Structure 1
Amino acid sequence: MTLLAVGSGSTGSVVAGRLAEISEWDVLVLEAGGQPPAFAKVPFLHLGSEFPNSSYMNYYKMRPQKYSSQFAKNTGGLYRRGKVIGGSGTINQMMHHRGIPQDYENWAAQGNPGWDYKTVLKYFKKTEDYKGPLKSRDAPFRAFGGPIGVEKVAWKPPVCRVAIRAGEEMGLAEVDYNTDTTIGSAIFQLTTKNRERVTTADAFLLPGLRRRNLKLQINSQVIKTVL
């Protein structure tokens, strides 16, 4: 069986890497872009905003938005997506947020078994290699040794601490928002390892290329799929 993964972005890299763990399956990843530049590893030198005309991105025109993306409320705007190994994970701001636990519970209640927070939490933990301060109450929600590095922002301007103290004065505690407590103040957590960007391509796809049954073909844009 030969399986095609279209795109090596945040989802495609995980899917391809995991499917290739089954040795009887051959997996081919088609990526429209190519190799990312070396400076893509540098945190906050994200291509999406610093290099708006970059060849490492596709640009899509947004329709005027009513509820979201208020910068595009009246005229629309440009929606940038990665055209490079790693996809948008190579050009984004690396901010790591699992989401609100109640949202997962709501999805499960709507008839989606396996999407409850307790179930998805074990997969969050399986992929994570957390490096940072850890309170005892937060320990059940964090994990170590996974393929995706998670670290707190290393450079913290003084205004960050001032903002957190202001929140505490207003009754908002400093929290780890990647636990079951998402209301409060916090320093951002990033998908970095040793202070360098980590994409799902770095974590799942590129290491898997050592397998004979996983191939990556770059500069190969899919124009049409026939079902």
Structure 2
Amino acid sequence: MSMSAPRPSEYDYIIIGAGSAGCVLANRLSEDPGVEVLLLEAGGRDWNPWIHVPVGYFKTMHNPATDWCYLTEPDPGIANRQLQWPRGKVLGGSSSLNGLLYIRGQKQDYDDWAGDGNTGWDYASVLPYFKKSECQSRGADDYHGVDGPLHVSDLRLRREIAERFIDAAKAIGIPGNSDVNGQDQEGVGYFQQTAFKGFRCSTAKAFLRPARKRRNLTVMTRAQCKQLLLDGKHVHGVVFEHQKQEKTARARREVILSSGAIGSPQILQCSGIGEPEHLKSVGVECRHTLPGVGENLQDHLQVRLVFKTSCSTLNDEVRHPLKQFMVGTQYVLTRTGPLTLAASQVYVFTQSREGLDRPDIQFHMQPLSADKPAEGVHPFSAFTSSVCQLRPHSRGRVRITSANPLDYPAIHPNYLSAEEDQRVVVDAIKVARRIAEAKPLEEVITEEYVPGEKFQTDEELLDAARQYSQTIYHPTSTCKMGSDSDPMAVVDARLRVHGLSGLRVVDASIMPSIVSGNTNAPTIMIAEKAADMIKEDHGGPS
């Protein structure tokens, strides 16, 4: 990208948000040298070295230099607690902060999307886009690709407690599964991660970095979007703040919102697009009625069980300064060891009760334990068995609280508000305890530290879930995809905002329902598919 001459204030495409989806779009749309693409990112460059060390999320989450540091409203479903919701405020977005875990979800997730009228989003239609992104270290097959820029690799860390956890899951009847993104999701095995040779592979590194040399792509960091420009029912540009100046950029073809499940509905509402009475209550003139903006919020809520153990865990390896030095030296010299740790080592996808046709709960097993990552690990040997409901029924919302686009919106997750979710979370804790009671773990576990054995009845287990649960950082669905007959749909199956021209939403907010697993890989897929649709709609090659 040449820096010698000022860029025009008019572009073919303006992408708002350089996160998991925005970086993909910037790459794919700028492949056509005949178009001008502007990518706006409210955060800064991904220069913090901890971004690129896999375990660096301990340093970048809850850090205002890289994280929006959102906080939910007090939630009755979790004992009126407020939860921190990290979201990436940096090139790469949350793919620069997340736990690196590569999970696509279940085939039925996408078939359900298509079954609700979203043509082209069935599993057979989206699988090619997963493969297009991927550079799979294990090689190509019917489910995986090797020609994409996103490196997906096996973990570089193995520990005895993880092997025992896998054996314990098998002991209670959960099958082994070496490829959770292949033929079937059910089972237990080691996660794969978005990493290459011991370094994080964010979308900024995989997609944006190789595209930045193109003269037709302009990337602006520290560029805070304030509102969209509307001419009647046509969106033709964006107002943003950059270097303490208010600036305007116009789009010849489209503005594309890729600001995530919190940022995208916030920008729409600040621009007068949303539910009229809500907008009026905060002093925003309604320019276009779309009652679903900010509604339908979904997230995976995890209950983190911690077990003390006589078996050595990473708590023993990293809590002393000398051992930390040794771990750091190992990483620098070999790119192996604890600093290559993804957010979890072992997954389990299984049913919370008999009779279900597919897994409805997921485990993330970590060979360490901590109250909060920033506070360091516990001063004793322990591991974490975290379990979440894959397809929650509870629905929340994101709503702006003022006309000022710099004010954070109110986030209401409404966790455990649905009775079905309350039942599943109780059954999930029981499954976690069954795994812990199986011989491979039972013989090394000395105590259930959290929540503790005092919680036994269903009512007590539900109370424990309300007290000890945390987000697993997967907010989605606040700009729901659906047909124009769905009053809560915000975008159509081609991700165009209903009733407006020149505007699409491309990020995790368009998911009609949350996928059954971690959300980063599906978000990248959404952007890959959207880029092809955008090219097709404007007469270009896909």
| Identity over aligned pairs, percent | 34
Number of residues of Structure 1 aligned to a counterpart in Structure 2: 218
Q: What displacement does 1:121 show?
A: 0.7
**In structure 1, what is the equivalent of residue 55 of structure 2?**
44
Structure 1, 84-93 or 199-208: larger mean CA deviation: 199-208
Equivalents in 1 of 2:124, 2:40: separation in Å? 34
Over 3 Å counting, the alpha-carbon distance change for 1:223 and 1:155 in structure 2 is same
Cα deviations by residue, 1:153-208 (Å, 9 ceiling, x for unpaired): 21122111111111222222221111131111011111111121011121222211
Over 3 Å counting, the alpha-carbon distance change for 1:51 and 1:76 in structure 2 is closer
Which of 199, 205, 208 is the matching residue for 2:208? Answer: 205
Structure 1 unmatched runs, 5+:
none
Over 3 Å counting, the alpha-carbon distance change for 1:42 and 1:112 in structure 2 is same
**In structure 1, what is the equivalent of residue 219 of structure 2?**
216
Q: What displacement does 1:55 show?
A: 1.3
Letter in 2 for 1:44: V
Letter in 2 for 1:53: N
Q: What displacement does 1:45 show?
A: 1.6
Equivalents in 2 of 1:201, 1:51: separation in Å? 17
**In structure 2, what is the equivalent of residue 156 of structure 1?**
158
Over 3 Å counting, the alpha-carbon distance change for 1:150 and 1:73 in structure 2 is farther
**In structure 2, what is the equivalent of residue 60 of structure 1?**
70
**In structure 1, what is the equivalent of residue 537 of structure 2?**
none
Q: Is the 8 A contact 2:51 2:60 kept in 1?
A: no
Equivalents in 1 of 2:89, 2:51: separation in Å? 13
Letter in 1 for 2:102: H
Over 3 Å counting, the alpha-carbon distance change for 1:65 and 1:179 in structure 2 is farther
Instruction: Tell me the secondary structure at the aligned position of residue 16 of structure 1.
Output: helix
**Map of 1:123-162 to 2, 5 A cutoff?**
123-132=129-138, 139-162=141-164
Over 3 Å counting, the alpha-carbon distance change for 1:152 and 1:208 in structure 2 is same
Instruction: Tell me the secondary structure at the aligned position of residue 223 of structure 1.
Output: strand
**2:40 is equivalent to residue 30 of structure 1:** yes
TM-score normalised per structure 1: 0.88
**Map of 1:66-105 to 2, 5 A cutoff?**
73-105=79-111
Which of 155, 161, 186 is the matching residue for 2:189? Answer: 186
**In structure 1, what is the equivalent of residue 540 of structure 2?**
none
Equivalents in 2 of 1:46, 1:75: separation in Å? 23
Q: Is the 8 A contact 2:23 2:204 kept in 1?
A: yes
Instruction: Tell me the secondary structure at the aligned position of residue 115 of structure 1.
Output: coil
Cα deviations by residue, 1:207-226 (Å, 9 ceiling, x for unpaired): 11111100111111112222
Q: Alignment RMSD, CA only?
A: 2.0
Q: What displacement does 1:113 show?
A: 1.4
Which of 113, 119, 124 is the matching residue for 2:125? Answer: 119
**In structure 1, what is the equivalent of residue 256 of structure 2?**
none
Equivalents in 2 of 1:210, 1:174: separation in Å? 44
Q: Is the 8 A contact 1:28 1:215 kept in 2?
A: yes
Over 3 Å counting, the alpha-carbon distance change for 1:97 and 1:26 in structure 2 is same
Equivalents in 2 of 1:84, 1:198: separation in Å? 14
Letter in 2 for 1:40: I
Q: Is the 8 A contact 2:50 2:60 kept in 1?
A: no
Instruction: Tell me the secondary structure at the aligned position of residue 114 of structure 2.
Output: helix
Q: What displacement does 1:50 show?
A: 6.0
Q: Is the 8 A contact 2:61 2:86 kept in 1?
A: no
Equivalents in 1 of 2:76, 2:161: separation in Å? 32
TM-score normalised per structure 2: 0.38
Equivalents in 2 of 1:97, 1:73: separation in Å? 30
Letter in 1 for 2:23: S
- Would you tell me which structure has more strand in proportion to its own residues? 2
Equivalents in 2 of 1:74, 1:131: separation in Å? 44
Over 3 Å counting, the alpha-carbon distance change for 1:57 and 1:117 in structure 2 is same
